[in-house]
Chains A and B, each alone.
Chain A
Amino acid sequence: MKVRLNARGNYGEWRKAARAALTNGIEPKFVDWAVETETYDLFGETASSDDAAVYEASEGSASTPANARAQAVLKPAAFVSSAFIELTEMAICHSDAKRFDLCYRLLWRLQSQKHLLDDPADPDVRALHGLVKSVRRDMHKMKAFVRFKETQAVSERRAFVAWFEPEHFIVAQTAPFFQRRFGDMDWIIATPKGSAAWKGARLHFSEAPAKPFELKDEADDLWRAYYANIFNPARLKVSAMQSEMPKKYWKNLPEATLIPELIRDADKRVRQMHERASSAEAPAFHRALKSRMTDRSQ
């Protein structure tokens, strides 16, 4: 059986295909999961999949996950656990083409081994956790590294946009976080792997890849001033920084342009502190304080 998927993080399309395969008793090795390669034109409609590629979710129920959970009832004969749904919802967002096959194989095995997922040493379970971990990390980095820039407001609410490049198809999963945090402003997060928008009533999501854009925000300068000065050159530890803030994220971080210079000058700055040592004379206000103290004690 050949299954063609849009493969842009939409859980519904995989679930539907997996349900069909399972009810027809098709073994995992006979299912060929293929990714549709299609071209999007920027303003046109997207894929022909009947799980609409552009959908809206009402506030509170957030985006797909909650809806997916409600509908994820397979035929009575089929067994899924809530842990399975929770994990595969994440894994499907991964960009590795093997994810569909792995998730289906797990679904298949789950029918005879109900506690399969509880065994972290099973190779398939391990692989699933590997995908989930990578997706979670990417979601976490998105929450951390999206940088909003202010743009022309269309109402009395302030408006912001951000360009971000995630590794996986995580925009729909991560957008509710921004909704919870930035409820009082309009915002759009545009990425090559789908975009999200919030104008106060509904969270909108599109699977279509967006194009990068440049936008200036004056606050970025203040932020750079902060970044440069909170850094302690005497504690330079570049590898620790890079493991948490890998270079692939740098190009969309306003502060990252400063990094090479800060690293280069760190040694020099520390040496200068040593050479200068302490100045001979304390500032005038210190001397004033001192004399006030002695006055008081007399």
Chain B
Amino acid sequence: MKKSLRERLAILSDAAKYDASCASSGTSKRDSRSGGLGSTESSGICHAYAPDGRCISLLKILMTNFCIYDCAYCINRSSSNVERARFSADEVVWLTLEFYRRNYIEGLFLSSGIIRSSDYTMEQMVKIAKDLRLKHDFRGYIHLKTIPEASAALIEEAGLYADRLSINIELPTDAGVEALAPQKHPQNIRRSMGELRQKIDEFSEPTFRRRRKRFVPAGQSTQMIIGADATNDATILGSSASLYGRFRLRRVYYSAFSPIPDASNVLPLIKPPLIREHRLYQADWLYRFYGFDIAEITAGRKDGMLDLDLDPKLAWALENRERFPVDVNRADKEVLFRVPGLGVKSVQSLLNARRYRRLKIEDLVRLKISVRKVKPFIVTDDWTPIKLIDRANLRELFAPEPEQLVLL
């Protein structure tokens, strides 16, 4: 018997939850005042939060979870006994529009298992995006996960309708991909990213004659699974840096390997390493927004793994005490960026505030800066850490209370 729409929605959203991205920001600004349905503004909106603390911004579903690939870490691999289902193109379009009208979502994040061939699957997905845009004049956000080995022409067509395209690099090393996803080829995935970058560049070239067509305005991103193999953080971050540099990705998502129903027995059924995932994101941020080099972040770590107890900036500062304390009334922006406890925003307000006064500790309190955290590392008009920065037990001031370990 054919499964109802609700049953298939349950299966195909369950199958989609291992994709970490739910971003719907950073695309071109559009709205429905000249017709159609939907808008996108500078930042996306999280319309709900699941009890796993993750934001729900998009209708994140698979077109189908049938798949001819057998990737060990994937819930949809061909050898798994999960229930299978498939949406028609019209059903995906209908769900997206009806969910959108009720203000549940910002748009669609469509991925798919691979059926028949890469091109066939990609074609079906492009059709959904195309129908949403052209038939229904949908102006909300669309993210398509492109299918490995799909032809460049299809990817280019997808880019005309989607805000963002992504292709998963899956694992941080080529050896990892070859071992766990034997039908995927890392060099082809990278080639596809390279081609897309080239297309994006081409479309953004200025032209005298007319406005360029919109092409993947929110850029491309990727995802890698953390903890399914033994790769260390230094290698993972190195891979990301190379992806950011070579393909100008907007984001690399890290997805803690999470137990799945009917898991393959070549993989550990572990508790997902959520803290590690969090530390990787923090390190990724230091690299992208705070002027850190990847090598600096992991330099002090012998095994190449980030400290799970301390955030990477604090860990770096404790390893590089000779750089502190920093005078918040005089230091350059780049130097302030490296003070643990100061974020991009608080650095900006410090810079503004100090044009009008000599900053004291109470000023930092008013700027909502955590004084406890920054005190050992800064000098203000009324505060010098004296010996605090040299204390051997400085780490203990920050490290969390020991916790009893929970198995699984």
Contact = CB atoms under 8 A, between A and B. Distances in A.
Interface of A: 59-60, 115, 118-121, 123, 126, 140, 143-150, 158, 160, 162, 177, 179-185, 217, 219-223, 225-241, 244-245, 253, 255, 259, 262-263, 266, 270-271, 273-274, 276-279, 281-283, 285-286, 289
B97 to A, nearest CB: 10
Given A145-B48, A229-B10, A234-B272, 13 more contacts: A144-B45, A158-B101, A185-B101, A219-B99, A222-B99, A223-B99, A226-B59, A231-B52, A233-B52, A235-B52, A238-B51, A241-B49, A276-B261
A273 B32 CA distance: 45
B103 interface: yes
Interface string B229-270: 000000000000000000000000000101111111100010
Nearest to B77: A286
Interface of B: 5-6, 9-11, 13-14, 16-18, 31-33, 35-39, 41, 45-56, 59-61, 66, 68, 70, 78-81, 95, 98-99, 101-104, 256, 258-265, 269, 271-272, 274, 349, 352-353, 355-357, 359, 363, 366-367, 408
A257 B11 CA distance: 21
A286 B52 CA distance: 32
A9 B37 CA distance: 29
Contacts of A120: 349, 352-353, 366-367
B10 A219 contact: no
A183 B100 CA distance: 13
Given A121-B366, A234-B258, A183 B31 contact: yes
Contacts of B366: 120-121, 123, 126
A227 B51 CA distance: 10
Given A147-B103, A183-B32, A266-B51, A283 B79 contact: yes
B138 to A, nearest CB: 10
Interface of B (DSSP majority class): loop
Contacts of B356: 115, 118-119, 121
A245 B330 CA distance: 40
B102 A231 contact: no
Nearest to A259: B51
B78 A180 contact: no
B255 to A, nearest CB: 10
Nearest to A178: B103
A227 B56 contact: yes
A255 B48 contact: yes
Contacts of B32: 180-184
